[in-house]
Structure 1
Amino acid sequence: METETETGRRHFIITGTSKGIGLQLAKLLLAKGDYVYGISRGRSDLLESSEEWSGRYSHVQYDLADLTGIDDLVTRLLDEIPSQEADCIGLINNAAMLEPLRPIDQCSAAEISQSLNISLAAPMILSSSFIQQTNHLSARRKIVNVSSGSASYPAPSMAVYCTSKAGMNMFTQCVSLEQTGRQSSVEIIAFDPGMVDTELQAVARGKSAEEFALAGMFNQVYEAGQLRSPRDVAMQLIERMDAQSDASHVIHTMES
């Protein structure tokens, strides 16, 4: 009997596929036989140039800080998906911006706006457009919002990032309530990957103690080998994504 991955009828739109967790998610899903549609500001050469993924990976260079074009972006990507034949269509909101890492009175309006647009407003608009444009489909629909422990733990010089992740968690819960009871509902979950060895972590470690009060803590965690690999986190996210989950509860990587 053929499985869902063997038939190749699962399609996933993933933001931030040029590096980190997004890149590993794309590679693992492609290895399963799924189709992936990546979005990032830069190219995703490792995925685009691989003959192994030929015909199953499509990439769009797009800056998610530009909110005005997101509806058209979703339309463009969904047009590539043979939706009537798909068993599952998913949206994984992974892209985020860590900076500015400074006290809020030292952050400019432009910096705050860009960070919140990428980390919170863009996922909200992507989700809204994704739901609206797939409501007519019978395929299973799933949205995964990549969260953070920073959503629950306030930290100095991280007001913008912490706020965006807290907003992502609340957004997930609200949309889940909206979908409850619908005939063809969208499953939505928030997933906290924990502390992962990504470029965001490297940025935090590279700050001086004067510029970012928690730089020392980030360095200590890195030197102690306590960061998880993006691949391990991506594997766990995929495992949990297929399960029915309570959206009122953020999924953490350390959960069994």
Structure 2
Amino acid sequence: MSSADPASLGRALCIITGASRGFGRAVARELSRLVTPGSGLVLAARSGEDLRAVREELAASEAGRAGLRVESVVADVGRTEGLEAIIRAAKDALIEQVDHVMLVNNAASLGDVSRFAVSFNDLAEVDSYLSLNVSSAWCLTARVLQAFPQRPGLRRTVVNISSLCAIKPFPSWALYCTGKAARDMMFQVLALEEPDVRVLSYSPGPLDTAMQVEARSRSADPGIRKLFGDQFAEGKLMSCEASCAKLMKLLLEDSYTSGAHVDVYDL
């Protein structure tokens, strides 16, 4: 496959946060299949054991045997040293000059959904949540774009894993909704400021993950608990693999408006 192949993302450097499980793990697997030899994947997460398992799986895969370099970084993206470690690993992963740099900002947390908005009166608690879920994605994106500046022949893509909660309020989900909305707006601004960068906010839909278990068991709002409980009981939760396949198709076609919020149900 060449970099012009519509079924390939080219010789790419792909950085994925929250890559140890769930949707991030699915993204890592799919990207490994869509890049050409000489590419590198940087997988970042806080869970070292799960991250090593993903790295070993990809290193042993057909892509790994064909020369894909896989780096894993145990890092907290909410801390400066975590961001620095990811950038160091990204530079180390470059075996050859790449023609595509892609960052997938997937790392996120649900936050405390057992309480309503008026209970959050502690600045440190709210700041801690926003640091992990907003500031980290902002600062990592800036660092990646600075570390790999625009040059002729280089494509740069930034993906924000978003949510319906970025555009619709959910009671008892004030932290999560606020974080997702802030991230969407930040990436809309980035798309305007950096027209050479392809920017996408992708909402993967209700996924069958540990976060969904927490959502349907701990949400303070009974309507939200029922909504997600019914989706689970009726088999309406999506697998990470099914949603990820739609994201990959979107990235390969590359016809979305930069900065757009695209929901899995729009595809």
Which range, TM-score by smaller chain?
0.7 to 0.9
User: Once structures 1 and 2 are overlaid, which stretch shifts more, 215-224 or 90-99?
Assistant: 215-224
Please tell me whether the aligned partners of residues 208 and 240 of structure 2 are also in contact (alpha carbons under 8 angstroms).
Answer: yes
Whether 1:14 aligns to 2:16 is yes
Paired position in structure 1 for 2:145:
131
Shift of 1:189: 1.0
Shift of 1:121: 0.9
Among 235, 238, 241, the alignment partner of 2:248 is: 238
* Secondary structure, counterpart of 2:245 in structure 1: helix
Shift of 1:65: 2.2
Residues 68-91 of structure 1 deviation map (CA, whole Å, 9 limit, x = unaligned): 225523430331243862021100
TM-score by length of 2: 0.85
Structure 2 counterpart of 1:32, which letter?
L
* Secondary structure, counterpart of 1:3 in structure 2: coil
> What is the 5 A alignment of 1:198-209?
198-207=209-218
Please tell me whether the aligned partners of residues 142 and 188 of structure 1 are also in contact (alpha carbons under 8 angstroms).
Answer: yes
Which residues of structure 2 form unaligned runs of 5+? none
Residues 190-248 of structure 1 deviation map (CA, whole Å, 9 limit, x = unaligned): 111111111211111222x6x44322221111111111110111111111123132134
**Cα 1:109–1:215 shift into 2, 3 Å:** farther
CA RMSD of aligned residues (A): 2.2
Whether 1:98 aligns to 2:100 is no
Please tell me whether the aligned partners of residues 8 and 35 of structure 1 are also in contact (alpha carbons under 8 angstroms).
Answer: no
Among 201, 207, 210, the alignment partner of 1:190 is: 201
Shift of 1:251: 1.0
Paired position in structure 1 for 2:127:
113
Whether 1:64 aligns to 2:77 is yes
Q: State how far apart, in whole Å, the 1-side matches of 2:129 and 2:184 are.
A: 17
Paired position in structure 2 for 1:30:
32
**Cα 1:192–1:140 shift into 2, 3 Å:** same
Whether 1:155 aligns to 2:170 is yes
**Cα 1:197–1:74 shift into 2, 3 Å:** same
Q: State how far apart, in whole Å, the 1-side matches of 2:24 and 2:83 are.
A: 21
Whether 1:46 aligns to 2:58 is no
Paired position in structure 2 for 1:76:
88
Q: State how far apart, in whole Å, the 2-side matches of 1:103 and 1:22 are.
A: 28
TM-score by length of 1: 0.88
Shift of 1:58: 1.1
Between the two proteins, what is the percent identity of the paired residues?
Answer: 25
How many residues are treated as equivalent by the alignment? 248
